[in-house]
């Protein structure tokens, strides 16, 4: 009898150990939540350290757009973002563009992803691919679409075979909306836009150079009115941003006489605003 009990205990301990070994070390609670927090619509905290209350799902298909990789459950945003994307897609369709491919916005309650972007946390960031869908994509191609890069990264040059006038229209229409704070894109694409003759160049100020972003653009909206705990960024510097600052992104010839100093950055632990605790747990 005692032997049997010991045997059962042994099996139990074995299974417990096995289960613990198989579970991920640190599950990310923001990725576990499947539904928005049903509170007042609010973007809380900063783009790269915050959360989202009252998030709304972007319908997976709409006039002028399709949501790609829907299984990632990252198609939630502040209602301002959902309204913006719907409006943008209708406008680009009006200009004769094929469907926009909308990628990551935020998770249902925002928060940080385990891998990938550090922003997209407050429902105010969205990625739009620089490929268009002329037809409704099949379930498989929606889940694993082919990314088309606009930049020859090795040579820091535009891939002229991939770049179309439709891309320029997309940037202009997307950046011209007043609720847009910034659009991040590879510096080579910004240079391309700068070289074009535009009647109005004001919107170019919002198009900001950043690495990555050669097969997608990243739209960031202003803090919405009523989101009192939303932390905004300073406005981009005045002007169209096509001058010296943009040139400074170009690769520099390697100076071999300089010694290379490597520094290791300590990873800061970010603490979210207090309201995010409520958004996550209730
Ligand atoms: Zn992004």
188 Cα–ligand 1 center, Å: 17
Task: Give residue 265's pLDDT.
Answer: 66
Residue 81 Cα to ligand 1 middle (Å): 13
Structural domain includes residue 32: yes
- The answer as to whether 102 is a domain residue is yes
- Tell me: pLDDT of 266 over 80: no
What pLDDT is attached to residue 47? Answer: 98
pLDDT mean over 56-82:
98
Domain of residue 277 covers 20-250+273-281
For residue 212, the CA-to-ligand 1 centroid distance in Å is 9
| pLDDT exceeds 90 at position 203 | yes
Distance of alpha carbon 162 from alpha carbon 270, whole angstroms: 39
Residue 206 belongs to a domain: yes
Task: For residue 44, give the DSSP letter.
Answer: E
Closest CA to 229 of 44, 39, 41, 40: 44
Within a domain: residue 229? Answer: yes
| Mean confidence (pLDDT) of the chain | 91
139-177: pLDDT as tens digits: 999 999 999 999 999 999 999 999 999 999 999 999 999
Per-residue pLDDT at 272 exceeds 80: yes
The count of structural domains within the chain is 1
| Centroid of ligand 1 to alpha carbon of 277 (angstroms) | 24
Does residue 2 belong to any structural domain of this protein? Answer: no
Q: What is the mean pLDDT of residues 25-46?
A: 93
Say if strands 42-46 and 49-53 run parallel, antiparallel, or are unpaired. antiparallel
Residue 219 C-alpha to ligand 1 middle, in angstroms? 7
Tell me the CA–centroid distance for residue 238 and ligand 1, in Å.
24
Paired tokens of 246? 């943009």
Question: Would 172 be classed as within a structural domain?
Answer: yes
> Mean pLDDT throughout 89-93?
98
- What separation in angstroms does the CA of 200 have from each of 5, 99, 121, 140, 194? 81, 25, 32, 40, 12
Task: Tell me what pLDDT residue 117 has.
Answer: 82
Rounded distance from Cα 172 to ligand 1 centre (Å):
18
> Using 50, 70 and 90 to split pLDDT, how confident is the model at 23?
low
Residue 80 lies in a domain: yes
Average pLDDT over residues 215-220: 98
Q: How confident is the model at residue 259 (pLDDT cuts 50, 70, 90)?
A: low
Q: What is the CATH number of the domain that holds 229?
A: 3.30.1380.10
């Amino acid at each position: 009898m005692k032997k049997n009990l010991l045997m059962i205990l042994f099996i139990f301990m074995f299974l417990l150990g096995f289960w613990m070994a198989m579970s991920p070390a640190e599950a990310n609670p923001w990725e576990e939540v499947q539904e928005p927090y049903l509170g007042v619509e609010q973007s809380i905290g900063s783009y790269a350290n915050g959360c989202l209350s009252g998030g709304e799902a972007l319908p997976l298909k709409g006039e002028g757009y399709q949501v790609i990789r829907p299984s990632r459950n990252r198609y939630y945003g502040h209602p301002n973002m959902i309204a913006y994307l719907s409006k943008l897609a209708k406008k680009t369709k009006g200009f004769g563009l094929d469907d926009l491919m909308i990628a990551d916005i935020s998770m249902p309650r925002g928060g940080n992803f385990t891998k990938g972007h550090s922003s997209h946390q407050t429902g105010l960031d969205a990625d739009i691919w620089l490929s268009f869908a002329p037809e409704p994509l099949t379930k498989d191609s929606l889940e694993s679409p082919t990314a088309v890069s606009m930049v020859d990264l090795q040579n820091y040059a535009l891939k002229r075979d991939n770049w179309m006038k439709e891309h320029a229209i997309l940037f202009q229409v997307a950046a011209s909306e007043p609720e847009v704070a910034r659009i991040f894109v590879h510096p080579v694409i910004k240079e391309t836009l700068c070289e074009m003759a535009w009647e109005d160049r004001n919107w170019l100020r919002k198009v900001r150079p950043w690495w990555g972003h050669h097969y997608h653009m990243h739209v960031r909206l202003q803090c919405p009115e009523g989101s009192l705990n939303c932390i905004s960024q300073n406005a981009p510097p005045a002007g169209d941003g096509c001058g010296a600052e943009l040139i400074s992104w170009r690769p520099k010839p390697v100076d071999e006489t300089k010694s290379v100093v490597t520094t290791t950055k300590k990873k800061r632990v970010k603490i979210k605003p207090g309201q995010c605790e409520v958004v996550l747990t209730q």
